[in-house]
Amino acid sequence: MANDYAAIRDRVEHYFDRTATSAWERLTQSDAKVSKVRQTVREGRDRMRAIMLSRLPEDLNGCRVLDAGCGTGLMTTELARRGAEVVAVDISPQLISVAEDRLEPALREKVTFMAGDMTDPALGQFDYVVAMDSLIYYRAPDIGAILTNLGARTHSAIVFTVAPKTPFLMAFWGVGKLFPRSNRSPVMIPHALDKLQRHAGDSLMKIDRVVKGFYISECLEYRP
């Protein structure tokens, strides 16, 4: 797992820091104009974020939460508003910089931003972990290992997303493998729940799925 995970992680970092920072900055800014396709992605991500947050208590005072792959910080902001002590980690220093700039001044004492690996044991113990669209590039054995790693340091639940194994996404995945380009994002890997359970265990369960234009994502929950 270590070599595959590290290689994919490095490709993700390169993509977001060298190619996609400005695009993600626009996509995640609600008043920024984007194409119709990207608008569906924005709306789908907003819906998925709400689903994930619904799995956590409304009052997170006294809770330590890891936002694993925090991107530009939309989830981080919502967690901090609920009173959580948030550790917001992303492999991309550029996205961390955007997230820091966007965070409301009143919430800054609630959030610790870090550029680095979301699985780093030095991050410590957590009550909850959320990982929105940050595991979508990894294979099932890697996801299983990530959940085991984080689960050993999480008291309640890990809520995360994967790309579900649908005909559309399998076709999209096949085209990406056949026609790779150096400037394309790392290829997301669609997953079936039963295969993920073989690597993560039966405590992994499906919560909901969002299909909005080109945004197709499934929310899963892992209880250590």
pLDDT digits (tens, 9 = 90+) for 21-68: 676 667 678 677 878 877 888 899 999 999 999 999 999 999 999 999
Predicted pLDDT of residue 169: 47
The residue that leads in pLDDT, 186 or 145, is: 145
- Check pLDDT > 70 for residue 152: yes
Evaluate whether the domain defined by 2-222 bears CATH number 3.40.50.150: yes
DSSP string across the chain = -HHHHHHHHHHHHHHIIIIIHHHHHHHTSTTS---HHHHHHHHHHHHHHHHHHTTS-S--TT-EEEEET-TTSHHHHHHHHTT-EEEEEES-HHHHHHHHHHS-GGGGGGEEEEES-TT-GGG--EEEEEESSSSTTS-HHHHHHHHHHHHTTEEEEEEEEEEE--HHHHHHHHHHHHS--TTSPPPP-EE-HHHHHHHH-TTEEEEEEEEETTEEEEEEEE--
- Check pLDDT > 50 for residue 206: yes
Q: pLDDT tens for residues 42-52?
A: 899 999 999 99
